Amino acid sequence: MDVGHLVTLVLAAGGALSAAIGVMYRTIMQLNEEQSKIREELGELRGKNKGIQHLSEEVMQVVHNALNKRGQK
pLDDT tens, residue by residue, 13-67: 999 999 999 999 999 999 999 999 999 999 999 999 999 999 999 999 999 999 9
CA distance 8 to 12: 6
For the chain, the helix, strand and coil percentages under 3-state DSSP, each to the nearest 5: 95, 0, 5
Q: Which residues of 2-11 are buried (b: 16+ CB within 10 A; e: fewer)?
A: eeeeeeeeee
